[in-house]
């Protein structure tokens, strides 16, 4: 395979191909056409006269549409081609590809154009694993359509391939005999439709074909409306505008329509492995996007409430009131070879569900949704009390019940080695990570507000506030590492402090669980050289036993993590430090063409000119896509207060003017303004100088 991978997506359907537009799935790449957690094409290779093509350039027209410019031959030395090929591909219910052959010669052209097609119908979990399939494959020519199929009992997937130009079809692809006049062109449209059955769904060719034809114009209109409805950003920092626009478009690309909720959308977690609903990721992204697209939060809350746990099921780690971790629709899930139908093995999504419900109401004033989800919110709070306290010590902790395929760490740092002592050794289970206690505290405080305001239950509100106050007192005693003046990343099963210094302490500021007397020490650590790399706060501090600047959760920099930390710094009044983190993140975004990845290396800024890529990070990834949005909120100091929006800008030096126009909320639409200080003695400024102060506050209602 040549060159970089190209990704084209729409909701939970996406294509990963090479720079020629070809798909050649193998054990070393994850190319293919994917939908509903299944690979519907594992081979899609274009040849002209039996010869592969070379890419000249690739145009990303929209997140769902790409154009490839190709010439025959694979030599490294360019030959003056008399023929070129353009492939224009748009994703939607499979994909549509317009294939054009151009003759640049003064003579007529006769060529054989071939498209080889095949599918392994691999479950997304199987793409990374060598695993034999249990069902049967079908390949047949059905009139003018090539059908690739797979069946296992009632589970059935099909790929339909058609062309508008006459073609010779066989079970391995399509062949076109092409004649092109001098300086003329030949064109055909190729339609690849993904068809799903199982779980009571039956194939309906008319429905699928009708939907596929409408997909492209509908996506164009949807994107235009999405961008048009979002607040407009005007600023002096050009790269900030680029990053903001990239975030809006990527967030649009990651939207998908949940089952039984037509016309509504919520964010999938990320491409390529997580194009589905994830409880924690969808909640965090909805929180980040609230000032920009509040409708995501409403759909996320309803969709998660529909699938809230109702029973004890050890295989899926389901418990009454628990919010799901992940939902999948592939073969392995259907036959219970994987538990994601859905899987509930996370300890943070449940309190964060309550946090999002309250924050959504604060922004939108939508009391109806809060009333609608009162039962689910109370069930989530009961889960925190009755199931999450696995050691009976009043702290949220976790231990998987599914030893085969359950997650070991059920916090946001969910890799196996993410929770460790200072010396690098690993604690036993259950584990109570510090940020989970902050989330539980925040959920209770926010639910108390809703209980008084909406549910008309002051006694319940009093109970929640007493619980929260008691938790805060115990937490500040039990998790505090006196020698280092920071909070331990966790308590182990014996109640001992897991004493490594980590970015988790920034989440504690966001939740409000930190005593004010301890806040300055926490900020000193977050902004000190062990945690702050210059590009952002690392997940684990330099000097810890497992620190690795390119370790997934043990030293890399996660943009979403930094945005939450910046939000927490603002909550405790550390506005300049929040702006410093925002500046570092937005500087890093420049090196990723405005698209922050899931994670990047935690090397010190002085030893690298640019942030070092983490090799397998998702891009786009939902909560990284939402990071610039939350950073804008943080820099401008946007906070709802009753029916008003408070604007308290503190911007990095050199950022200049920032205007965020038409911010939606319970107030209607509001404009916010801010300006950073400028050092007139210097011709150029770096954000490392960080003389950070807002010159004025601006607020305009409409």
In this structure, are 110 and 168 located in the same domain? yes
In this structure, are 163 and 72 located in the same domain? yes
Higher-confidence position of 142 and 695: 142
696: its two tokens: 């004025």
- For residue 211, being part of any structural domain is answered with yes
Other C-beta atoms closer than 10 Å to the C-beta of 189 total 13
The fraction of the chain above a pLDDT of 90, given in percent, is 75
pLDDT band at residue 698 using 50, 70 and 90 as cut-offs: very low
- The stretch 384-391 carries a mean pLDDT of 97
**What's the confidence (pLDDT) of residue 693?**
33
**What's the confidence (pLDDT) of residue 686?**
40
**Structural domain harbouring 65:** 6-218
**What's the confidence (pLDDT) of residue 187?**
97
Q: Cα separation of 133 and 135, whole Å?
A: 6
DSSP 8-state class, residue 325: S
- The stretch 587-611 carries a mean pLDDT of 93
In this structure, are 273 and 178 located in the same domain? no
- For residue 683, being part of any structural domain is answered with no
Report pLDDT digits (tens) over 430-484.
999 999 999 999 999 999 999 999 999 999 999 999 999 999 999 999 999 999 9
Q: Could you give the dihedral angle defined by the CA atoms of residues 510, 512, 516 and 518, in that order, rounded to the nearest 10 degrees?
A: -60
Report pLDDT digits (tens) over 393-444.
999 999 999 998 899 999 999 999 999 999 999 999 999 999 999 999 999 9
Q: Could you give the dihedral angle defined by the CA atoms of residues 290, 378, 392 and 507, in that order, rounded to the nearest 10 degrees?
A: 10
Of 466, 444, 450, whose CA–CA distance to 396 is shortest? 444
Rounded alpha-carbon distances, angstroms, from residue 571 to 192, 437, 523, 567: 50, 17, 12, 6
**What's the confidence (pLDDT) of residue 628?**
97
In this structure, are 510 and 651 located in the same domain? yes
What does the angle CA 38 – CA 42 – CA 48 come to, to the nearest 5 degrees? 150
Higher-confidence position of 130 and 133: 133
- The stretch 662-684 carries a mean pLDDT of 76
**What's the confidence (pLDDT) of residue 12?**
74
User: Domain total for the chain?
Assistant: 2
Number of residues in the chain: 702
Inter-residue contact 508 to 522 (CB < 8 Å): yes
**What's the confidence (pLDDT) of residue 700?**
44
Please give the mean pLDDT across all residues of the chain: 90
Long-range contacts of 413-417 (CB under 8 A, 24+ apart): 413/504, 413/539, 413/553, 414/346, 414/553, 415/552, 415/553, 417/546, 417/551, 417/553, 417/554
- The stretch 377-406 carries a mean pLDDT of 96
In this structure, are 214 and 321 located in the same domain? no
Q: Which of 178, 195, 218 is the last residue before a domain boundary? A: 218
pLDDT band at residue 213 using 50, 70 and 90 as cut-offs: low
DSSP 8-state class, residue 607: G
**With 90 as the cut, is the pLDDT of residue 498 above it?**
yes
- For residue 273, being part of any structural domain is answered with yes
Q: What is the CATH number of the domain that holds 350?
A: 1.50.10.10
In this structure, are 87 and 210 located in the same domain? yes
The fraction of the chain above a pLDDT of 70, given in percent, is 90
Q: In DSSP terms, which residues pair with 618 in a beta bridge?
A: none
236: its two tokens: 């002096």
Q: Phi then psi for 210, rounded to 5 degrees? A: -65, -45
Of 256, 296, 277, whose CA–CA distance to 343 is shortest? 277
**With 90 as the cut, is the pLDDT of residue 23 above it?**
yes
**What's the confidence (pLDDT) of residue 231?**
97
Of 23, 24, 21, 19, whose CA–CA distance to 4 is shortest? 19
**With 80 as the cut, is the pLDDT of residue 688 above it?**
no
- The stretch 563-581 carries a mean pLDDT of 97
In this structure, are 135 and 270 located in the same domain? no
**What's the confidence (pLDDT) of residue 496?**
97
- For residue 700, being part of any structural domain is answered with no
Inter-residue contact 93 to 215 (CB < 8 Å): yes
**With 90 as the cut, is the pLDDT of residue 209 above it?**
no
In this structure, are 595 and 651 located in the same domain? yes
Q: In DSSP terms, which residues pair with 38 in a beta bridge?
A: 35, 123
């Amino acid at each position: 395979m040549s060159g970089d991978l190209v990704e084209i997506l729409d909701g939970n359907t996406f294509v990963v191909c090479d720079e020629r537009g070809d798909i050649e799935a193998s054990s070393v790449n994850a190319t293919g056409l994917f939908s509903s957690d299944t690979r519907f094409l594992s081979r899609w290779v274009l040849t002209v006269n039996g010869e592969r093509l070379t890419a000249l350039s690739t145009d990303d027209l929209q997140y769902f549409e790409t154009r490839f410019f190709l010439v025959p031959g694979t030599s490294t030395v360019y030959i003056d081609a008399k023929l070129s090929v353009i492939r224009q591909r748009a994703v939607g219910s499979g994909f549509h590809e317009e294939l054009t052959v151009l003759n640049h010669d003064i003579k007529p052209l006769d060529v054989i154009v071939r498209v080889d097609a095949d599918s392994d119908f691999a479950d997304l979990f199987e793409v990374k694993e060598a695993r034999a399939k249990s069902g049967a494959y079908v390949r047949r020519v059905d009139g003018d359509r090539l059908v690739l199929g797979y069946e296992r009992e009632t589970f059935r997937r099909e790929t339909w391939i058609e062309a508008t130009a006459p073609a010779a079809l066989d079970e391995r692809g399509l062949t076109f005999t092409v004649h092109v006049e001098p300086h003329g062109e030949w064109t055909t449209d190729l339609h690849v439709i993904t068809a799903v059955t199982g779980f009571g769904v039956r194939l309906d060719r008319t429905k699928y074909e009708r939907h596929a034809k409408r997909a492209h114009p509908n996506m164009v209109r949807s994107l235009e409306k999405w961008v048009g409805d979002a607040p407009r950003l005007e600023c002096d920092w050009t790269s900030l505008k680029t990053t903001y626009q990239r975030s809006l478009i990527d967030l649009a690309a990651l939207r998908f329509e949940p089952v039984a909720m037509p016309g509504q959308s919520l964010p999938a977690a990320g491409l390529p492995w997580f194009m589905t609903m994830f409880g924690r990721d969808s909640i965090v992204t909805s929180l980040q996007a609230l000032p920009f697209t509040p409708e995501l939060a409403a759909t996320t809350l309803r969709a998660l409430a529909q699938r809230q746990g109702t029973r004890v099921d050890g295989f899926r780690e389901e418990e009454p009131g628990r919010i799901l971790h992940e939902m999948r629709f592939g073969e392995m899930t259907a036959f219970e070879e994987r538990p994601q139908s859905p899987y509930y093995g996370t300890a943070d999504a449940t309190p964060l569900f309550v946090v999002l419900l309250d924050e959504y109401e604060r922004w939108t004033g939508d009391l109806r949704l809060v009333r609608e989800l009162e039962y689910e919110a109370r069930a989530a709070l009961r889960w925190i009390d009755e199931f999450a306290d696995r050691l009976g010590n009043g702290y949220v902790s976790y231990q998987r019940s599914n030893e085969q395929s359950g997650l070991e760490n059920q916090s946001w740092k969910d890799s196996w080695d993410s929770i460790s002592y200072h010396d690098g050794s690993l604690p036993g289970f259950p584990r109570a990570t510090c940020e989970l206690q902050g989330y539980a505290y925040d959920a209770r405080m926010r639910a108390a507000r809703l209980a008084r305001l909406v549910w008309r239950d002051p006694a319940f509100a009093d109970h929640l506030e007493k619980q929260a106050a008691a938790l805060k007192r115990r937490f500040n005693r039990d998790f505090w590492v006196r020698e280092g003046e920071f909070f331990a990343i966790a308590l182990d099963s014996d109640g001992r402090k897991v004493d490594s210094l980590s970015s988790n302490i920034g989440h504690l500021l966001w939740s409000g669980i930190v005593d004010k007397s301890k806040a300055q020490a926490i900020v000193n650590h977050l902004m000190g050289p062990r945690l702050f790399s210059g590009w952002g706060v690392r997940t684990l501090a330099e000097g810890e036993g497992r620190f690795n600047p390119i370790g997934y959760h043990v030293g890399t920099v996660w943009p979403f993590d930094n945005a939450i930390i910046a939000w927490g710094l603002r909550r405790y009044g550390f506005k300049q430090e929040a702006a410093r983190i925002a500046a570092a993140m937005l500087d890093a975004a420049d090196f990723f063409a405005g698209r922050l990845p899931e994670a990047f290396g935690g090397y010190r800024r002085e030893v690298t000119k640019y942030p070092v890529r983490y090799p397998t990070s998702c891009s786009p990834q939902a909560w990284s896509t939402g990071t610039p949005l939350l950073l804008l909120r943080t820099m401008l100091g946007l906070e709802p207060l009753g029916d008003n929006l408070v604007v308290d800008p503190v911007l990095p030096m050199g950022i200049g003017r920032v205007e965020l126009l038409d911010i939606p909320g319970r107030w209607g639409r509001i404009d916010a303004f801010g300006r950073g200080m400028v050092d007139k003695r210097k011709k150029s400024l770096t954000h490392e100088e960080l003389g950070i102060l807002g010159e004025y506050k601006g607020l305009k209602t409409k």
